Amino acid sequence: MDQLDLFADAEEAPMPATFAARSRPAAAPASRPAPASRPVVAADAELDSLFAGPRPELPSVQASIPAPRRIAPLLIGNPRDAGQRLGEAVAETWHASNWGGYRMDIPVSVVAGMALFPIKGHTEDVTRIISKSTDWQLLQGYREIYAHTWAHRPDLGARMAPLMGWLTEEGVEEKAYAVRRVTETALRYGVLQLTGDPDPYNRSDTDVISWTVTSLRSHGAKQGLGEYHTPPELCDMMARMLIGDTPPEKGYRFHEPAGGTGGMFRAAAQHLRNIQADPAEYVWALNELEPLAAAGAAVNAIVWGLGPNVVIACGDTLADGGLHERAVRERKAVFEERDQILSYIAVAEATQEAIALADRLIRAKAA
């Protein structure tokens, strides 16, 4: 099976080797014509060649699950109600695990990782693959999803650092049991149905990250941070009032100074699509004080298809008047760093090919 090219040009690239799925035609939503520029990704990789090649990073958790359970997703119904049920169920599962209420970044990272899964429209196959994976494969799968995200969107990937840190810590294998339980709960409550459609319009019906964060956060912490989930119906009404029935000019900037995980952006993007405008043709600038919520906004920017012009800043909007400008500079820097790393990789690969060619020529002359 072909390995994942983490550095391909397409925003929705081929599936990582960690998880593979057969190609299946994706049905377009009947209620609204999809713009011609909206991509639909198909996967051609084989299902049975998971995790090709040795992965030495996590050697202590390679034991297989004795009897993989078949995960049957619940009926979704209203996506917004389903998003709330998912967040509450994930929080309950996490608190019931050995880790209790500690490290809420881990369950949020699990939900975000599945929402970021790069191949859309293969829910049943992906669910089956994840349920059959070993603990080591499951952890490595989340690492590859975030690596894939960073390779294609380093600006947003860098903002997701609070979600990725636990995957690089020593003793990560000790978290495998709790991670698997949260994964199974999220699958059962429909995370892939809510975020796995090829059309971003259908992926933008709910904010699973916000529901997960607010369900995990204690009441006291919510009060201290001033963090509350804005009802999506209110966001929808505000978006209709602010944008109106005529699309703004391309390049118009939407700015949210206290954006949380981006609920207002979700509503604005959906309204733009309803009036036949593409959100990717606009600029989205969001500030958020809390790093985990800002990381969730970066995830949602990809899931909701906001396009390439997204700037997410993390800091105190009231205390730092230059927050957005600094985020723009950081965004440029991470793209330059990514490109430099890619150039090093290209040089290394070219060197290896040259060495192999010289070795073949030497052997041919010797013969």
| Whole-structure pTM value | 0.74
**Phi and psi for 60 in degrees, rounded to 5?**
-95, 5
Terminal C-alpha separation, the chain: 34
pLDDT values of the chain reduced to their tens digit, one per residue, 367 residues: 333 333 344 444 443 344 333 333 344 444 444 444 433 333 334 333 333 334 334 333 333 434 445 666 677 789 989 999 999 999 999 999 866 557 899 999 999 999 999 989 999 999 999 989 999 999 999 999 999 998 899 999 999 999 999 999 998 999 999 999 999 999 999 999 999 999 999 999 999 999 999 999 864 444 445 556 688 899 999 999 999 999 999 999 999 998 999 999 999 999 999 999 999 999 999 999 999 999 999 999 999 999 999 999 999 878 877 888 888 888 888 888 878 877 777 777 777 777 777 777 777 767 6
**Ramachandran assignment for 208, one of left (phi > 0), alpha (psi -120 to 50 degrees), beta (any other):** alpha
Q: Give residue for tokens 């993989």.
A: 68
Distance of CA 215 to the CA centre of its chain: 19
**Phi and psi for 218 in degrees, rounded to 5?**
-70, 160
Contact 132, 47 (CB under 8 A): no
